[in-house]
């Protein structure tokens, strides 16, 4: 595994009704939902390291500590970024942020662990 701090990833989406708080049951407001922002941040972190893992290995999310700073209405694009800031064995820590077209809407940290996919799936049986 050749993971070093400084690796970066990005993911983006457009706010549509299906990813609003109203649609996901996280409130009745038609703005980008916090759970969807977190999912976008996780995707950015996954992308940061996916190409650097040995064959047969993946990273899985284990911890999220983020603040949702501002609401984003339907129609705007949202972009999440992740930077690997710590590697502790199989444990990876990322600084994550999210932005809409006008401002920063979220920030925090996200932790992932590197696992062997086949062994991980076998433990689920």
Name the residues annotated as catalytic. 34, 42, 68
Q: What is d(CA 63, CA 75) in angstroms, rounded to the nearest whole number? A: 29
C-alpha 44/C-alpha 65 separation (Å) is 15
């Amino acid at each position: 595994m050749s993971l070093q701090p400084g690796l970066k990833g990005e993911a983006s989406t457009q706010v549509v009704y299906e990813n609003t708080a109203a649609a996901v049951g996280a409130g009745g407001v038609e703005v980008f939902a916090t759970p969807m922002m977190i999912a976008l941040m996780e995707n950015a972190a996954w992308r940061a390291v996916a190409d650097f893992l040995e064959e047969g290995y993946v990273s899985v999310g284990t911890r999220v500590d983020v603040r949702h700073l501002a609401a984003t209405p339907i129609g705007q694009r949202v972009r999440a970024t992740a930077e690997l800031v710590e590697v502790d064995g199989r444990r990876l820590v990322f600084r994550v942020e999210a932005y809409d077209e006008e401002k920063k809407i979220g920030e925090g940290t996200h932790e992932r662990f590197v696992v062997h996919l086949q062994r991980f799936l076998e433990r689920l049986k």
